[in-house]
Structure 1
Amino acid sequence: MNRIRTASEFSRTVRSGARSGRRNVVLYGSITSGMDPSRFGFIVGKNVGNAVVRNLVKRRLREAAAIALTDNPQGLDIVVRALPASAAAGWPELSVDLDKGLNSVLRRLTARNNAAMEGEDS
């Protein structure tokens, strides 16, 4: 899978992107050039649980992201931060939260991009 790996890439996406919070996750997204493949990064801190729980949450989120990647194969960087509630969430709940969060981020990025385009036209 296309992954965000470096701290600078995580920082750029979190600071300059659109944000959407859900019960189990917070998503940050930014638009890259249209030809770059979409990439996902995951932040699962110790507040989520012990190593076993964190890895389970991470695996579930990676699978949900892989499914979402088929709909958005190019032009996005997405950072997913797992919240402590994600430790008790099952696969369906995490998957739905990631999908809804991603849709919200995409709407915000599209609105921001359209507003920037209108500003250039003036």
Structure 2
Amino acid sequence: MLATGNRLRASADFSNTVRSGVRNGRRNVVLYAALTDPDEPTKVGFIVAKSVGNAVARNLVKRRLREAAAATVNAHPQGLNIVVRALPVSAGAQWQQLLQDYQNACRKVLDRLAAGG
């Protein structure tokens, strides 16, 4: 489970990450990542709009993405802000599809950040 200290909550942090971060899109998610202060913990935020579905569907997608993000935080414990935007098709996605899309997008974004953006 994603710890409370690793959740992105401030609107300004979301905006900065989306505007200045590296982006990668997959079938179910679009992932944005930006480097932050190396002393700060990695933080992950989620954007799951009403277009994804009703409250039950949105919360299911958020819970699944939160679980997928916990592994990223363990692998990269400091210096990143990540925003995950769920696309409408993610409501019908199986757990494995959602996890694979998240992991592939995360890997691609981290590679681009390591290469200098």
Identity %: 58
Classify the secondary structure of the residue corresponding to 1:70: helix
Residue 20 of structure 2 aligns with which residue? Answer: 16
Structure 2 unaligned regions, length at least 5? none
Residue 64 of structure 1 aligns with which residue? Answer: 68
Query: Is residue 102 of structure 1 aligned with residue 101 of structure 2?
Result: no
In the aligned structure 2, how far is the partner of 1:97 from the partner of 1:71? 17
1:88 corresponds to which of 92, 99, 116: 92
Deviation for aligned residue 1:100:
0.6
In the aligned structure 1, how far is the partner of 2:61 from the partner of 2:76? 22
Residue 44 of structure 1 aligns with which residue? Answer: 48
Deviation for aligned residue 1:107:
1.1
Deviation for aligned residue 1:23:
0.4
Residue 38 of structure 2 aligns with which residue? Answer: 34
In the aligned structure 2, how far is the partner of 1:15 from the partner of 1:58? 22
- The RMSD of aligned alpha carbons is 0.9
TM-score by length of 2: 0.93
Q: How many residues align?
A: 113
In the aligned structure 2, how far is the partner of 1:14 from the partner of 1:109? 14
2:11 corresponds to which of 7, 15, 25: 7
